[in-house]
Amino acid sequence: PEDLQPGPEPTLHTQEAYAPEDDFTAKWTRADARQLKRLSDPAAPSRENSMPAALTMPTVPQDFPDMSNGEVWVWDTWPLTDEAGNQYSVNGQEIIFSLVADRSLGFDDRHVFAKIGYFFRPAGVPADERPENGGWTYGGLVFDEGVTGQIFEDQSYSHQTQWSGSARIMKGGEIKLFFTDVAFYRDAAGNNIKPYDPRIALSVGHVHANKNGVKFTGFDKVTSLLEADGTYYQTGEQNEFFNFRDPFTFEDPNHPGETYMVFEGNSAMPRESAQCTEEDLGYREGDPYAESVDAVNASGATYQIGNIGLAKAKNDDLTEWEFLPPILSANCVTDQTERPQFVFQDGKAYLFTISHRGTFANGIDGPEGVYGFVGDGIRSDFQPLNGGSGLALGNPTNLNFAGGQPFAPDYNQHPGHFQAYSHYVMPGGLVQSFIDTIGTHDDFVRGGTLAPTVKIDLDGADSAVDYTYGNGGLGGWADIPANLDVNSGGKV
């Protein structure tokens, strides 16, 4: 668009597909990510959104209803899906899995106490005919106490927690729950005695659903699938603050019969000696806005080296996996490429991932939200959506001002700066997320429940918020509708 602010040109990306096994990693470059600032209006005044409306989630009102009726904090949430990302109801019940924590905890203390809970509600009811809070019934925790701690050789953990993942419905009502099983080893002051230990893990159960509700059996054993290897994916020895989590499995339409997984990782460099390259910066020849590699490496940007990993299942039970090289790196761009997922549409592979404003590297800025990349296959020279910026759906944000923190928003920030996070793109472009903080510095409330569902339309390498959806673009609260109903589950 002609109203872009001055800045570097984005990197040229071909979208060309490579074999999943190939050693090609697409780069979300600094030249790409600097398009975020070029999209931002430098004249936007205090507390107003500086980003284009087409890429901004409509403002969520502060008087939101609570989906758990006061039972638990709720954040990252995922539906019951098949290999193509379709969302299923079972015997007329929609089912979702959420990270939950006790409401006696402060919302920011939740991460080391997270457990996977589930909710259900009757399928096939239009959002505007449901109770305002989405009409879910909280079913409780998925795992009995002690089950998810068993995989850790070192049982001296201080905290043992369950982080995000994804759930696959298989034949006969079997559910394969992929998640991140985490042990922390901290002293009483909260410092690491040794690095935390996040593992990508699987537990198998069965769903029992009828008009009275939903119960699970199984989920009494956990299989550890993957630990960061230090070659492709950074380990705790390389960086005690490493990220390795959030498995999402799928079948690649170009390789039917094979199951793959994407997950959040970091590039496998030691924290203190990490270096970014000319390719990570990605400037075009002669770009007057280019930075030098030395200047970027001296800036502290090397602490932010997120990547998106790929693994391939070695057996039909999906209990054995092998790492493949990462499909995307964000070296010197952002440290967190969380909850990655694929959406296949119009013959293209769309890769989505969430990132925080505060995890961007020095010299890069962009809103909290979901970022998208498009290519011809699951390993491609991915083109970041929307002019190379990657932004698909961000919170209303003013990039002219600091963000503050969810517990202390900056005085000049838009009330929506932290309104939603952990966006998950569903069939039909629907996007669900959870509420973090809504309001301004002097008047804000914490969330802990799901936001209104919104809709984005994908069109090649562009996307736009659909403001005709719901009420000015905001659909039902906590609305995660199944698009397929089955009796026996999975492929029938």
Q: Which residues are catalytic?
A: 76, 338
For the residues of 162-208, what is the DSSP string, one character each? EEEEEEEE-GGGEEEEEEEEEEEEE-TTS-EEEEEEEEEEEEEEEEE
Q: Does 307 bind ligand FRU (CB under 6 A)?
A: no
Q: Which contiguous run of DSSP H or E holds residue 295?
A: helix 293-298
CB nearer ligand FRU, residue 245 or residue 379: 245
Contact 107, 154 (CB under 8 A): no
The amino acid occupying position 404 is G
Q: Shortest Cβ distance from residue 275 to ligand FRU (Å)? A: 26
Smaller CB distance to ligand FRU: residue 76 or 335?
76
The answer to whether residue 339 forms part of the interface with ligand FRU (CB under 6 A) is yes
The residue among 36, 311, 113, 82 whose CA lies nearest residue 200 is 311
Instruction: Give the number of residues written for the chain.
Output: 492
- Give the helix/strand (H/E) hosting 278: helix 278-281
Residue 354 CB, nearest distance to ligand FRU (Å)? 7
Subset of 377-416 contacting ligand FRU (CB under 6 A): none
With binding defined as CB under 6 A, does residue 451 bind ligand FRU?
A: no
- Give first-to-last CA distance, the chain, whole Å: 46
Least distance to ligand FRU from the beta carbon of 200, Å?
11
Task: Provide the sign of the torsion angle of the four alpha carbons 282, 457, 431, 217, taken in this order.
Answer: negative
* Under rule CB under 6 A, residue 76 binds ligand FRU: yes
Cβ contact 446:436 at 8 Å: yes
Nearest approach, Cβ of 112 to ligand FRU (angstroms)? 9
Residue 335 CB-half CA count within 13 A? 18
**Which C-beta is closer to ligand FRU: that of 338 or that of 381?**
338
| Of residues 114 and 328, the one with the C-beta less far from ligand FRU | 114
Answer for which of 40, 98, 180, 359 binds ligand FRU (CB under 6 A) is: 180
Q: Look at phi and psi of residue 218 and say left if phi exceeds 0, alpha if psi is from -120 to 50, else beta.
A: left
Looking only at residues 234 through 273 of this chain, which bind ligand FRU when binding is defined by CB under 6 A?
Answer: 245-246
Residue 101 beta carbon to ligand FRU: minimum distance, rounded to whole angstroms: 9
- Exactly one of 9, 32, 335, 338 binds ligand FRU (CB under 6 A); that residue is 338
CB of 239 to ligand FRU, least distance (A): 16
Contacts 24+ apart (CB under 8 A), 270-273: 270/238, 270/239, 271/238, 271/239, 271/240, 271/241, 271/303
Whether the Cβ atoms of residue 259 and residue 188 lie closer than 8 Å to each other: no
Q: Which of 114, 204, 313, 461 binds ligand FRU (CB under 6 A)?
A: 114
Site string for ligand FRU, 412-441 (x = CB under 6 A): ---------xx-------------------
Q: How many residues bind ligand FRU (CB under 6 A)?
A: 14
Q: Which is nearer to ligand FRU, 111 or 271 (CB)?
A: 111
Q: Least distance (Å) from ligand FRU to the CB of residue 288?
A: 37
User: CA-to-CA distance for 486 and 108, rounded, in angstroms?
Assistant: 38
Longest distance between any two alpha carbons in the chain, whole Å: 66
Asked whether position 163 contacts ligand FRU by CB under 6 A, the answer is yes
* Dihedral of alpha carbons 276, 25, 162, 220, sign: negative
Q: Judged by CB, which is closer to ligand FRU: 252, or 436?
A: 436
Q: In the bound complex, what is the minimum distance in angstroms from residue 348's beta carbon to ligand FRU?
A: 25
Nearest partner of 139 among 155, 111, 118, 160, judged by Cα? 118
Q: Which is nearer to ligand FRU, 114 or 391 (CB)?
A: 114
Task: Please list every residue from 81 through 100 that binds ligand FRU, using CB under 6 A.
Answer: 99
CB of 76 or CB of 479, closer to ligand FRU: 76
Give the whole-angstrom CA distance, residue 442 versus residue 439. Answer: 8
Question: Per CB under 6 A, which of residues 26..65 are in contact with ligand FRU?
Answer: none
Which chain residues interact with ligand FRU by CB under 6 A?
Answer: 75-76, 99, 111, 114, 163-164, 180, 245-246, 338-339, 421-422
